[in-house]
Amino acid sequence: MFNRRLGLSRLMMRLRRIIRNDQLILSVLAVLVGVIAGIGVIFIREGIDFVQGLFLGGSSDKLINSLLNLPWWRILVVPTLGGLIVGLFVYYFIPGRKPCGVSKVIEASVFQGGRMNFRVGIGASIASIFSIGIGGSVGREGPAIHLGATIGAWFSEKLHLTRSLSRALLGCGTAAAVAASFNAPIAGALFAHEVIVGHFAMSAFAPIVISSVVGTIVSRIYFGDAPAFEITQQSLASLWEFPAVVGLGIAGGIVAIIFMRTTMASEDLIKKLPGPHWIRPCIGGFLLGLIALAFPHVLGVGYEATDMALNAQLPLYLLISLLFMKILATSICIGSGFGGGVFTPSLMVGAMLGGAYGIIATSIFPDLSSGPGVYTTVGMGAVAAAVLGAPISTTLIIFELTDDYPLTIAVMVGVVISSIIAQQFLGKSFFNWQLERAGLDLKSGFETTLLRSIKVKSITNNDAETVSVSASLEELRNKLQFSEMGELFVIHENGELFGTIVLADLSDIAFDHNVDDLVNAGDIARINPPVLDQDDDLENAKKVMQDSGEHFIAVVENHETMKFIGVLNETDMMTAYNQALVQARHEEHEGAP
């Protein structure tokens, strides 16, 4: 196994030597990533259908009728025992003991320089397949995106690509996964730029588009050229409907906030429950089963129920009920640790909201309304955009699904308003919330990444002025008088740091030669000064400088030996950071028109 991995790594490096142009190799890799990510989407979809057929008797798009024919105990037992299996698998086989999704890809892009754990990516996909297969009320697109990005990160690691190229490959995997999932190549490319990469430089745009198209082709070869949702041709009947669309956008923003806050509360509540970590999905599965006894539509990704809403096949009471039950079911599943995302659940919640809103609007203004179907489509976009923090790509997904420009304009209005509402009153998307829960701040993410990428030892000044512990007062006077730093570092004979001395420490005895033979450096030195390990990064160095107020920090081999290496100057630290910033921006925008 080791020899096989070594041979593969050598093959990757040989490819890197043959193709030296970064844009060319990125384009070649974009094709490979697109193909593999597309196959990954097929694997996830078929895996979910297999598990669902085994335990619940139906596939994702034909699940509800199967559930209605199952005995009640099976609807309750399958999610409960399935949740137990998911919990044990995640606990023992996934590093970090938590299934991941889009937020992990964003973290890799912003904080990890495009690197991801391959084992976590594969494990999260398996956990998600089983989670959804046993009825988990979560989406399959998040795991697909995570898997696609993991594939891109694997190529980056094997070829030792730069940070900017690695982030571009993350975007390639993401774009291919979204495009293959929704049969929407334009939306796939834009989602990768909008959510993962964060810029539209040509150096990243071209390969991401390539991957998105390739992923779509792979999906269409296997599944055919069918849209993700069956939406009948619909258009706005009149421009007078736009005030109603504005109202739906406001409602969509409010529902998105309720969705996210309910998920936050669910996770907080479940964390407080006694018992081991792996039992939580079992508890979540039991609660999910209780909901499904009355509302089986909440089980699984929700494609079938969403299609029914889009085609006006659900009554008003059921639309309103499923709106809140789907939010509750998804919140329980996400909070308890099921593998999966919120992409499809947010679309279903939006469809239920839009469908109910459309029925009410049509009953009040029948002559002005184009029917509930239009509002269902707008509701899908409004809620999903606010939850995902991706208004552009969500709008494009709807456009590619409907191929209706006037309807897309209405979706844009709803999306913009709902996104503004969510940002104004919550301030973040679902993915940003997950990152904040992990202690990561996207606003300072780029700066943090750069600071973490620079090690203290790379900019340490090894010519710092030192004196021994036994150095005389006269020697201290002479050295400090001509010291560029105005500071001396006192060390033992074995090289261990003892303390520091500045000119102010000699103020009382600077001109008192009567004590020259009575006082040495060890008597005057400030002991236990702030220090940095040579392997620390500049993020930690910045914190130490801020906390201590010092402009020069001693650098040691490690905190055990305390062997003095040199000194870190605040000016050198800022210079290194600025150089890294310029280089990173150059790499990101290289090739841009």
Per-residue pLDDT of the chain in tens (593 residues, 90 and over written 9): 445 555 555 655 565 555 556 678 888 899 999 999 999 999 999 999 999 989 988 776 678 888 888 899 999 999 999 999 999 999 888 877 777 788 889 888 887 778 898 989 999 999 999 999 999 999 999 999 999 999 999 998 888 887 788 889 999 999 999 999 988 899 999 999 888 887 666 778 889 999 999 999 999 999 988 776 776 666 676 777 888 999 999 999 999 999 999 999 999 999 888 889 899 999 999 999 999 999 999 999 988 899 899 888 999 999 999 999 999 999 999 999 998 989 999 999 999 999 999 999 888 887 777 777 789 999 999 999 999 999 998 998 888 877 777 788 889 999 999 999 999 888 788 888 888 887 777 666 667 777 877 889 889 988 888 899 888 888 887 888 777 788 889 999 899 999 998 877 776 665 666 666 677 888 888 888 999 999 898 888 999 998 888 889 999 999 888 999 999 998 889 998 888 878 766 655 554 44
**Which residue, among 88, 55, 53, has the nearest Cα to 281 in the 3D structure?**
88
> What is the per-residue pLDDT for 593?
40
Read off the amino acid at residue 480. Answer: L
Neighbour-count burial for 482-501, b at 16+ CB within 10 Å, e otherwise: ebebebbbbbeeeeebbbbb
| Whether pTM exceeds 0.85 | no
Q: CA angle 410-416-421, nearest 5°?
A: 130
What domains can you pick out in the chain, each with its CATH number? 2-230 (1.10.3080.10), 239-443 (1.10.3080.10), 450-581 (3.10.580.10)
> What is the per-residue pLDDT for 435?
85
Say if CB 386 and CB 417 are below 8 A apart. Answer: no
> What is the per-residue pLDDT for 2?
47
**Which residue, among 311, 316, 307, has the nearest Cα to 360 in the 3D structure?**
316
Residue entry with tokens 């839009």:
354
The H or E element that residue 499 is part of is strand 497-502
**Which residue, among 78, 76, 56, has the nearest Cα to 65 in the 3D structure?**
56
CA separation, residue 471 to residues 431, 503, 531 (Å): 58, 15, 22
> What is the per-residue pLDDT for 242?
87
> What is the per-residue pLDDT for 333?
95
DSSP strand pairing (487-491 vs 466-468):
parallel
> What is the per-residue pLDDT for 10?
61
Residue 567 Cα to chain centre, angstroms: 37
CB atoms within 10 A of CB 73: 10
d(CA 330, CA 320): 16
d(CA 334, CA 38): 25
> What is the per-residue pLDDT for 42?
96
